[in-house]
Amino acid sequence: MAYMAGRWRCLLAVAVAAVLSAAGGAGAQETCSGAVPAPPKRGEWVSVASFGGAGDGRTLNTAAFAAAVASIERRRAPGGGLLYVPPGVWLTGPFNLTSHMTLFLSRGAVIRATQDTSSWPLIDPLPSYGRGREMPGKRYKSLIHGNGLQDVFITGANGTIDGQGSVWWDMWKKGTLPFTRPHLLELMDSSDVIVSNLVFRDSPFWNIHPVYCSNVVIRNLTILAPHDSPNTDGIDPDSSSNVCIEDCYISTGDDLVAIKSGWDEYGIAYGRPSSDITVRRITGSSPFAGFAVGSETSGGVENVLAEHLNFFSSGFGVHIKTNSGRGGFIRNVTVSDVTLDNVRYGLRIAGDVGDHPDEHYNHNALPKVDSLTIKNVQGQNIKEAGSIKGIASSAFSRICLSNIKLHGSVPVRPWKCESVSGGALDLQPSPCTELTSTSGTSFCTNSL
């Protein structure tokens, strides 16, 4: 037994070294991954197999994961603890993480969610949403969950977290969901988080959801779900700050990356914006958007940089969306260096998207959309350039489009604009007249 423990510790050390080497091997590529330093050497390493777990794909390991995490929390080893998941298929229900912890999935390790939905616990709705996102009342807990944590590292040697989401998608399609579906990973009110070098697949709902978090790095992930799987967003930072998302391949049934900050009157009251977010080198495909802001933006979204994006076979390249009743703001957003292929709409900025939690929202709570720059976009096999549709009593302002060239096998349908001001430089097809004013062009030139 001591030999086996020493052996997996040795193999893990080699795997960790490979992961860290790969993370540092980006060369001259710009990165913000250093925003959260790699954790110190963990003082305790344990395997889920040591707590009665079995990676046979049949044994339910919920209690084993809970016991392993409890051991790390109880012992409080210097530098925290590491929970090792060996090769195998580890069937489990939802379990919590703890602070000062690394969850490490070895190559060939699969954490697989049970499809017994009756065994999934319920938790309270998020205060910035006021209810479950899909259904009133509570919501199902995420497969991997944490609340109020610090120094959490979720990584591996390309191990897989498998949500087995088809049973949940079927309930959604049949209208038999009793509560809002669970995420694969949700961390709440947590800081100093790294999620890297893993595969997420077939989430019941949104895949990765950091909410009310700060100092978060998400990088080197593959996130997969069928294009007809409902609401399987890839990565949704929500009312969170100092977030870095880099070097991911995502192909799902909804937006690949979507920045959010609460829903109507609940998000306005909670009042926590998403801010200082970088999204870089994302590749993928979706029937909806590659990169999105919204539509839940009631706490505000500001200071966002998204660059070096590559989307194909998708509904929208970039989709920035809000609605009357949302309140909040979307400002200081820059999207740059985007490549599109076989995308229906190159760009959409819209003030009429998204539903409401109930009938108590303030119809006069109008969002403020200001200072958005979209530049250096190249597209082929594009059907429609896109649209910018503000709200009549809250026009979108200082919208800058620059160096956007969208081509199709037939002429690309022209831009549509309404209740918007700003400027446009070097667009194909030609910009709408709302973006050709002298003052707007001057703003656009100064913002580049």
**Ramachandran angles phi, psi of 100, nearest 5°:** 55, 55
Write the DSSP symbol of residue 32: -
Largest CA-CA distance found in the chain, in angstroms, rounded: 76
Alpha carbons 145 and 157: distance in angstroms, whole number: 21
Write the DSSP symbol of residue 37: P
Contacts of 176 (CB under 8 A, 6+ apart): none
* Tokens standing for residue 160: 């897989």
- The H-or-E segment that residue 172 falls in is helix 166-174
Q: Supply the DSSP string of 52-81, one letter for each residue.
A: T---BSSS--HHHHHHHHHHHHHH--TT-E
Q: Parallel, antiparallel, or unpaired: how do β-strands 139-140 and 122-123 relate? A: antiparallel
- The H-or-E segment that residue 264 falls in is helix 264-270
Catalytic (active site) residue 238: no
* Tokens standing for residue 197: 């070098």
**Ramachandran angles phi, psi of 230, nearest 5°:** -75, 130
Dihedral Cα 305, 263, 212, 158, nearest 10 deg = -70
- Catalytic entry in 202, 233, 247, 254: 254
| Strands in 180-263 per DSSP E | 185-188, 191-201, 208-211, 214-224, 241-251, 257-259
Residue 336 β-bridge partners = 307, 375
- The H-or-E segment that residue 268 falls in is helix 264-270
Question: Which residues form the catalytic set?
Answer: 254
